[in-house]
A and B are shown apart, each in its own frame.
Chain A
Amino acid sequence: QKEVEQNSGPLSVPEGAIASLNCTYSDRGSQSFFWYRQYSGKSPELIMSIYSNGDKEDGRFTAQLNKASQYVSLLIRDSQPSDSATYLCAVNDNTGNQFYFGTGTSLTVIP
């Protein structure tokens, strides 16, 4: 069984702080990595994708990938209360046929 592991949280950070979310995966054949944000009662929303080792920045979000360690992370700088949500990590083997999701990390940003 190919797995994606995330700390379920809840993770609480004060407004303006950096939130750090982590994810590990078991399939070394994974090629594409994604972070989704899911508000309560809503569907997942894609916020970042990363395909090669290193960092990828988009606004306040930075995704980090280390394929050797089978580890992907998401940093949220200057956290806002509107960032409070569940963050899902997903991986794909670039066949388009199988996507594996973690159970998600619940983030609360305290004003």
Chain B
Amino acid sequence: DVKVTQSSRYLVKRTGEKVFLECVQDMDHENMFWYRQDPGLGLRLIYFSYDVKMKEKGDIPEGYSVSREKKERFSLILESASTNQTSMYLCASRLANEQFFGPGTRLTVL
């Protein structure tokens, strides 16, 4: 089975902190994604990557950056966390037409 893991299930940070969310997949997938999920808004794509060191902006990249140094790992970075970044963050990897999701990280910024 494909496994996508995220480094934390719950995270609490303070405004202005730099935040790293880590995602690892074990199936050698080339494509990886970061989404944020908010009630009533569904999933919105922040960034995606189709290869090591390659990244593309999604629909809501402002306030975020990403890093993909190794194929299996895709990191989401909040350079200076703000309260409006309190959300559920979901990572996914893709093979053909199917995306496989991690369990999510619920981030609270105080």
Report whether chain A binds chain B: no
Residue numbers of B with Cβ under 8 A of A are none
Residue numbers of A with Cβ under 8 A of B are none
